[in-house]
Every structure is written in structure tokens, then in C-alpha cells.
A and B are shown apart, each in its own frame.
Chain A
Amino acid sequence: MNIMNKITLKSLIKNKTRTIVTIIGVILSAAMITAVTAFTSSIQQYIVNYSIAKIGDWHIMFGLNNSEAYNEIIKDRRVAEISLVKEGYYAYLTGGINQYKPYLYLMELDKKALDTLPLYLIEGRLPENGDEVLISEHVLSNGGVEYKIGDQIELKLGLRYLDGYVLNQYNPITFEDEGEKEELKITGTRKFTVVGICKRLPYELEGYSAPGYSIITRLDETNITFEENERISVYLKLKNPRKVYDFENDISKKYNIESVIYNDDVLRYMGISNIDRFNKVLYGLASIVMVLIMVGSVSLIYNSFSISVSERRKHFGLLSSVGATRKQLINSVLYEALVIGSIGIPLGIGSGILGIGVTLYLLRDNFIRMFGERYPVELSLSVSVASVIVAALVSIITILISAYIPARRAKKISPMDAVRQTMDIKLTAKKVKTSALTRKIFGIEGDIALKNLKRNRKRYRSTVFSLFISVLLFISTSAFSMYLTKGVENVYEDYNYDISYTIYKNDVLSQNHLLAFENICNLDGIEDGSIIRNSFWNAALSKDQVEPSFYSRMLEYGYNDGDDVEINIIVYSVDHNTFVDYISVLGLNKEKFLNSDEITAVAVDKQHYFSKDEGRYINSNIFKKHDETTITVYDYSKIDYNESDTSQVDNLNGATIVIGAFADTVPIGVSEYSPVNSILLIVDDEVIKNTESSVKNLPWYNVFYMYFKADKPAEVIEDIKKILTDAGLDTTDIFNIAEQVEDNRNIITILNVFAYGFIVLMSLITIANVFNTISTNINLRRREFAMIKSVGITNSGFNKMLNYECIFYGLKALLYGIPASICVTYLIYLSMTEGVDIRFFIPVKSIFISIFSVFLVVFVSMMYSMRKIRRENILDTLKNENI
């Protein structure tokens, strides 16, 4: 072994404690960095798996109606896996109760497609041939028709036509009263045996407005033919998913393709899709966290190396005088880094992976609940090679930075310094001024303390820098987790009710319903309830009524400057009791809002939506001023946009509504935000019923909703069902929203666990760091203290001096630390607004905590380090010069 390395190793072994502390620092740092990368890659893998479980393990789907394209695609070398689904045939669902979904929709899946598409059996088994069929439980829960395993069914199958066009699942049912009537042309009959019941197919495959319940049978893939108007959907998994867009381009250009669907979710989460905001935000956040960790670790590890270099200063000078080159000296420090890194980094990566693995394991139930238990996907540790490489690289860079700065200092050590044994810290020769005020306020002790700081800039700087970094890390870390929580709360809509019950096709609620409602509200577990019906109107607002940003956006939709712009009005007509409660909570005048001559509404002007253009969630409002105002509302739904007759709009009879107040809160059952370009109006249903105003003539949806707040929704829901059944009412449209809300709250819990875990770890690192710096400094100043004591400073005076020093340290650190951390907070805010529209705020609480902690940590470290020194004999310390 090279002699320089040998010396390095020997001195590492000699200073066991410091070496171990440094290695622990490296382990901590590498572990945290690995935890971040491993968690990031696990989350990403989980989301990909989740999307696969939800939508299926495919990248792109081509809807084909001719064998030419089919024959080419299945031969294409870029394709890894092919699943086939022959579809298009409908049959009437006899006895169905949902008029919007009158059909069964036959999907014939080949063997591969049964695997690829997200089919989840509730009971029974998958179909094995073309005579067996799998039925979605939706047929019973929504369509009201029950099939049991073993049932024989005979279906008269045919294609849906409208005006000569073939319709598919993307075309909702059309009714006669809408002018045109679609037609099912029966082409044949098939017999099936029911062999299984499965969950409803996901939205992507069976849309919410799809008119047919999917039923699934086996397709004989050996014999694919294209009858006229038949359609085969080819679900493809590509060998290189990154090329999926090129592939689509290529195929669509060459062949006649009926439709193309990308598996957007899977592609996005794999980081392939064009709109990969998700990954951007994920990587952005991971990078911020890693930079924070790096800064913290560098300041700790740097300190260790710095101390080591100081101690080895004499060695370096000696070596230099016997002819060691500067390069050899630098290499020696870097070798020290290498030794420490090669022990610390592998251990750190190992413990980081272990740590995050255990955390994920302990939180697995929360994670499963987070996305609901609809899909059997677990968040498990997924350590990608890239994540380990990134972690190792970041750790190595951290150590190199930490070692390089002191190494440069080692290089500068001249042999002369070593030979002469000059002090590590050079005092500035400049005159150091302290104001007379300082002496007056703090006495001679304060004066010495301040002079000490000013004179020993370098030593003072290292302590202040450690403190500064700690303040910065603490505040930015807490800001980070606060923004994260806020951001998540913003993305996931929270509901203000737990259970909903929908009553279709009723213009007026029957006495039965009202009675049932009352009974349900009287149940023990129910805290609150409301009945709501909606309508959807429009209103035109003038330029000066609306926010300029809203107006300019509307101009992009084709309005001319100066025009009135049309907005959507979503009206919630709530039951009288709920409304009265609502306005009294808001502190509004009852008489004004309950006056049936002039309809007065409470408006909610808060839009929250996902902007495709900006690729993020936006919060906005439409009205410039939230003052009382009167608007005229219209029902635009009667306008026939195909006719160019502009007088249609003028001929509409509008109705006047007073917006009596704008509110931020809503009654139970009303959504807290409105969609883009819309505002919410909340009115009293009883006022609407009794009014003579022209509002009466505007249309209402013939659907009523009941909303309930419940203590334990899952338990009370059975009681509700019983009340409804006893009243002879349908129970199919009860939903337990609480389950879904629970999922969202789980996300926030998980985030908080990580955020606070992170804050705690970071605080530990930084406290260790400050402690380390201060105690080293105190140690280096032993002679100085002994000297001050020898000239007769009293113990209390000495303590006073040290306390002042602490105060000056803390003040200086905070002076730099707080502004810097506000800047970092702003950067975090900028990164978050990439994905979510949130307001900038300063983490005031954390700032106060950090101010308090800075002084606490400084005082405690100082006192602890001094305890040892106080016991020392003055003379011994003074004599102890040449060691």
C-alpha cells in the first residue's frame, strides 16, 4: 500500500470515535437518499401496477373493422403481446330498470385478453368457450336483473343503428323524444351458460354513459373473421413502450383504423406519455428532498473531514517538508473519503432499502385503503437499478464535496506552519471594533464575546454555518411537508357527506320518500341529512363584472372583446330546514333569503378543475367583486345550435335571481367547488315551490338526492336500506361515499408519516452537526479559556461570556437562516404549483420553533462541552502546548 494511504488509514484507526461518527453520518445520509429514491421508484411502480390492475396490461388499442390491418398488426415485430376482443353486438336486457342502460353488450375475449384486461371474478370462473359467459354484477346492482351461475340465457344479438351508422359503447342511448330513435337490428341468436360473476369493467372500457352492460365470453382466436360492421379491438403491448406514439402514427398512416385508444394512465405513470406531469412532480419533489438531505449531510460530513484535516495538519506539513507533493496530500484526504464512503455507502444503501421496506410494509394497509380495495395491488418495495445508482451517485457526490473543501485547505498547509506549529485558526490582524453600546449593555464579558466572534471569523463561521443550515433545513422541510399536504388536499375532493341516495324520475318527491328521509335522519348513527335537486342554467355576465383573467380566457373561446360572456349556473335547491340552518350559520338575514317574491340565492364562486392546457389543478373565481348582485338566468338547453337563427337567444325567457351573498361553505350534499366556467347557486326548495317568479318556469332535473352525514356509515347503511325497503322504495342507488373519502384521508396520513419522519431525521442530523461543531470549537479553545481564567475572570463572568457568545451565534444564524429558508419555501411553492394551484404561505410556526430550538441547542451544546473543561486545571492546560 502507498505510504500516504497507509498514514490515512492509520490515523482513521487512531481516531476511532471520529471515524465512526463520520461513517454513521455517511450511513444516515446514504440511507435517507436511498429511502427517497427507493420510495420514488416504489411509488412509481405501484401506480403503474395499479393502473394495470385497473385498466389492463396493454399500451394501445386499435379498433379494427378489416382484416388487412389486423393481419399486419399481429405480425408486426414491434408488438410483444396481443389480446383480441370481438365486440359490437347488443341484446336487450329483459327486465332492466335503468332506462339509460337497456342492453347487454357482448365482448368476446381471446385467451390472452382474459389475462390482459382487468377482469375481477366475484364468484364462479372465467368462460372457457364461446358458450359460456361471465356477467358483471352491475347488471344486478344497477340493472336490477339477477343472473345466477348455471343460468342458461338465450340472447338475440344485433347491432345498434342510428341513421345508418353503427353505434358502440361510446354512444349513449338515444330516445325517441330527443328526435331520433336508435334501432337494434337483430342478426342472430346465441345461447350461453353463466359461469361467473365479475366486477364492473373500468370506466375506460365501459364508460358511465355506455348503454350496455358488458358480458364476457371466449373468442376462438384461431378463427378470426370480419363480418360486415363487426369490430375487433386489438389490445397491444409493445416491446418498447416508449415508441408507442411512433407506432400508432405508422399504423394509422398505413391502414384504415376505426379507433385508437392509448392506455394513458399506464403510459403516463411509466413516464412515457406526453403529459407526464405526474413524473415531473414526483421527480421534482424527490430532487428537492435529496438536495435538502445533501445539504444537511454535507455540512455534517464536511465538519468531520474538516476536523480530521485540522488534526492532521501537522502530518501534512511534515509530509510536505520531506517531499510529499500537494497532489499526494489531496489524494490522501480523498482516500479518506473513499475509505469512509466504501464502508458507509453500502451500509447506508442497505439500511435505506431496509428502512423504507419496513415502512412500506407497516403502512401497507393504509396504502391499500388509499386507493380503495377495488384492485388487489399492494405497494411493495420496488428498488430499481436506477434508484440504487442514483442514490450511490448522490452519496458519493455528497462525500466528495464534503472532503474536497478541507482537502483544498490541506493542500495549502505549508511545511513551515507545521514545523512552527502555528494555530489552526489565524486571527485577523485588523482592528476589531465593538460599539461602546455593547460594553454598556453586556459588560466586559459581552464585549470579549463579540470580539472573539469578530476576530476568529473562520471558527465562528463554521458554527454559524452549521446553525444556519439547520435552520434552513428545518424550516424548508416543514414547509415542504405542509405544501405537500395542502397540495394533496387540493387534488382530492373531500366530501361533506358520507352516504348518498339518488331518486330518479320524480318531479316531486312522494310522501313515502319524505317520510323515509325523516326516519333516516332520526336514526342514531345519522348526524345530518339534506334533500337536494339540481338544475343547470346559464347567465351572461358583462366584462366589468368578471375577473380579467377569466374574461381573457373566454376571449380565447371566440368571444369578442366587449361581449358579455356566458357562464354556467349550477343550482342546488336544498330542503327548507337545511337551507335555514345554512344561512343562519352564515349569519345572513332569513327574511331576505326566504322571500318567495324575489328569489335570493347564496352563491359559491370557487372553481377547482384540472386544466389540460396547463396540466395542473387550478383554483379560480369568476366574479370580480363578491358583492350582492342580480343576474338573469336562462335555460340554453332548448337552443338548437344547428340553426343560425340568433334571435333564439333573445326569445328565451330569462328569470331574475338575486345573489344575496357569496359564501365559502356549503350545505351538506353541495359540492364545495364548481367546475370550470361555473358558479353554484344555493336556494331554498320551498321558496322555489311557492314562488310566482319566472324562475318557476325554468326546468329542473327530475332527480332528487338525499345526503347523510353518519358516524359509522358502513353500519348505518343497513338500517337505511331497511327503512327504504319498508317504505317500498328502491335501494339500488345508495352509495357509501365515506369509503372513498377514507381513501383520500389515507393518502394524507401516509404523507404525514413520511414528512414528519423526514423532519425528525433531518433535525437529528442537524442537531448532531451543531453539537459536533460547537464541542470541537470549545475543545480547540481550551488554552484560550484557561488563559482568560488565569487572568482572573470569575466563574459567573465566564458563563456570562459564553452565554453572550451563544446569543450572538444564534442571532447571526437566524439572521441568514430565516430569509434563506423563506426563499427555499418559495422554490418549493413554485415546484408544487407545477401540479396544483395553491397559495404561497410562510411556515410561521416552524420559524418560531426553529428560533427557539437554535438557542436551546446552542446553549445545551455549549454547557455540555464546557462541563469537561471546567474540571481541568488551568496550568495543565496552559502547559499543554507541544503535543
Chain B
Amino acid sequence: MEILRVENLTKIYGKGETAVTALDNVSFSVKKGEFVAVIGPSGSGKSTLLHIIGGVDTPTSGKVYIDGTDIYKLNESQLAIFRRRQIGLIYQFYNLIPILNVEENMTLPILLDGRTVDKKHLNELIETLGLKGRQKHLPNQLSGGQQQRVSIGRALIYNPAIVLADEPTGNLDSKNSEEIVNLLKLYNQIYNQTLILITHDERIALQADRIISIEDGKIAKDEVIRQ
């Protein structure tokens, strides 16, 4: 079942002489439960691709369908709500809100919806992420790896259609990196969670089901390495 389809995606920054084409007519689709690694040298456009898929940046042309919804046909607030419920974003620098505690940071998308949190679901997640006993801590009381686990929790809390991770291990040591990737893989396998991960770490990419490599804004290679 197809969960994501990208059609002729083009992104051009700037105008005239200073124009830079970050994405050039990119098309591909992702099936539900697939774990896709996106690799490529810096400046190749992989982050741009991820941001456009995540609905935080807008394409110059082309379409993005998530679970059948053309997300750039949505208006501002519809898109924000879609992002909140269907997309989980994980950044390199965790991007937690420093004045909210772990539990609040994790449940932020639900809280923004004004809904009540399913305690059971939350506790399961906290336990899986190894954050038990740290619910009331503030981000600056946690280590980098722990902070990244909180941000994974925030991305997963709503059981989104798709989780997008932008170099989630880029700022972590190898031990912590391994743990984070294992966690993501765990969710991908147990809950059939679709996952797109940007990395330039070959070892991490090789753990994925499929590797898309991008060069100069184009898909250079797209191979399934695991069925």
C-alpha cells in the first residue's frame, strides 16, 4: 500500500542570477511500513526534500501525496493540523522546547490539538524510549541521546502516517547513535511505521529496506536492498 507519493518535485531558491535549484523534478513513492534511507553529499537537496515532504517548506512545483492527501492543496491551518497528526519530524538538534518538560514536549502535538493524552499509550512509549522516571525533567537536564529520544517520542506520539528524520544521529556519539537507530527500527518493524531517514552514515543507511541517493537535486540511485 502506497503511503507517500512524490511527483515531479522541484524547488528553486532565489531568483534570476542567484537562483539555485535544490530539487530537480524528483518523483518516487513509498509503501506503508517501508524504511527508506536518503543519502547524498551535503548540498545535494536531501534536507530540502525532507522538509517539503514534511510540509514545512513549499515546493516550487510538483506534488506530495501522503496517505492520498495532496498536502499542498491544503490551506495554512489545514496543513498545520495535518502535520500535527500525520507527520512526525525528528531533527539533528532535537529542537525541544526548553521550558516544557519531557512529558509535555512529547505530547505537544496532542496538546496542540486540545485533546487529552492517552496515559497508557504515553507510558508505553516512555518505557520503550527508556525515559522512565524522567517525565518531569526539562530538556537541559537530559543528555543528547535522551533529548533525541524525547524528540522521537514527540514524532511517534500521534502514530503518524510517516516519520521523517533529518540526520537524527548527526550530533550523537556512536553508542547513542546505535541506540537511536535501533529504536527507530524497532518501531518500523513492530508497528509497521513508515520511516524516511536522512543520513550520510553508510552503516545506518545499510540498515534500511531501501536507499535513495540524491545528487544535485536528482535521484541518482534508488535501490531496494531488503524485502
Contacts and interface: CB of A to CB of B under 8 A. Distances in A.
Physical interaction between A and B: yes
Interface of A: 2-4, 6-7, 10-11, 14, 314-315, 318-328, 414-416, 418-419, 429, 882
Interface string B93-110: 101110110001000110
A414 B89 contact: no
B84 A7 contact: no
A320 B56 CA distance: 8
A710 to B, nearest CB: 74
A290 B80 CA distance: 41
Given A3-B108, A328-B112, A419-B91, A323 B99 contact: no
B83 A321 contact: yes
B98 to A, nearest CB: 8
Interface string B127-146: 00000000000000000000
Nearest to A4: B112
A805 to B, nearest CB: 29
Nearest to A882: B93
A315 B96 CA distance: 9
A327 B54 contact: no
Contact of A323 (B51, B80, B97): B80
A150 B123 CA distance: 100
Interface string B105-127: 00011011010000000000000
Which 8 pairs from chain A and chain B are nearest by CB?
A: A323-B84, A3-B111, A415-B56, A325-B77, A10-B99, A325-B80, A323-B83, A321-B56
29 contacts: A3-B104, A3-B111, A4-B112, A6-B104, A7-B100, A10-B100, A11-B99, A315-B97, A320-B56, A321-B56, A321-B83, A322-B109, A322-B112, A323-B84, A323-B112, A324-B84, A325-B76, A325-B80, A325-B81, A326-B77, A326-B80, A328-B112, A414-B57, A415-B56, A415-B57, A416-B51, A416-B56, A418-B95, A429-B18
B100 A419 contact: no
Interface residues of B, number: 29
B85 A323 contact: yes
Instruction: Provide the main secondary structure of the chain B interface.
Output: helix
Contacts of A2: 111, 114
Contacts of B83: 321-323
Contact of A414 (B56, B82, B97): B56
A324 B97 CA distance: 13
Nearest to A329: B80
A321 B84 CA distance: 8
Nearest to A418: B95
A416 B57 contact: yes
Contacts of B76: 325-326
Contacts of B154: 322
A118 to B, nearest CB: 66
A14 B140 CA distance: 14
A319 B100 contact: no
Contacts of B93: 882
Given A7-B97, A322-B109, A327 B77 contact: yes
Instruction: Provide the main secondary structure of the chain A interface.
Output: helix
A314 B94 CA distance: 12
Contacts, number: 74
B104 A323 contact: no
A10 to B, nearest CB: 4
Given A3-B104, A325-B77, A326-B80, A419 B95 contact: yes
Contacts of B96: 318
Contacts of B89: 321-322
Contacts of A882: 93
B170 to A, nearest CB: 13
Interface in B63-86: 76-77, 80-85
Contacts of A326: 76-77, 80
Nearest to A10: B99
Contacts of B85: 323
Given A11-B99, A322-B109, A323-B80, 6 more contacts: A319-B108, A323-B81, A326-B80, A328-B80, A429-B18, A882-B93
Nearest to B14: A429
Interface in B138-180: 154
Contact of B112 (A3, A314, A414, A415): A3
Contacts of A319: 97, 108, 112
A418 B89 CA distance: 13
B57 A14 contact: no
Interface centre among B56, B77, B100, by most A CB within 10 Å?
A: B56
A340 to B, nearest CB: 17
Contacts of B81: 323, 325
Contacts of A321: 54, 56, 83, 89, 95
A722 to B, nearest CB: 85
A418 B54 CA distance: 14
Interface string B191-217: 000000000000000000000000000
Contacts of A323: 80-85, 87, 109, 112
A328 B112 CA distance: 8
Nearest to B157: A322
Contacts of B97: 7, 315, 318-319
Nearest to B101: A10
B186 to A, nearest CB: 22
Contacts of A7: 97, 99-100
A589 to B, nearest CB: 84
B52 to A, nearest CB: 10
Nearest to A320: B80
B125 to A, nearest CB: 16
B158 to A, nearest CB: 9
Interface centre among B77, B80, B112, B114, by most A CB within 10 Å?
A: B80
Nearest to B77: A325
Contact of B95 (A318, A328, A429): A318
B78 to A, nearest CB: 9
A14 B112 contact: no
A327 B80 CA distance: 10
Contacts of A322: 83-84, 89, 108-109, 112, 154
A429 B51 CA distance: 25
A320 B54 CA distance: 12
A14 B100 CA distance: 11
A832 B151 CA distance: 64
A428 to B, nearest CB: 13
Contacts of B114: 2
Contacts of A14: 99
Nearest to B76: A326
Contacts of B108: 3, 319, 322
A324 B56 contact: no
Nearest to B111: A3
Contacts of B82: 323
A324 B112 contact: yes
A872 to B, nearest CB: 22
A325 B78 CA distance: 8
Nearest to A411: B76
Nearest to B51: A416
Nearest to B154: A322
A324 B80 contact: yes
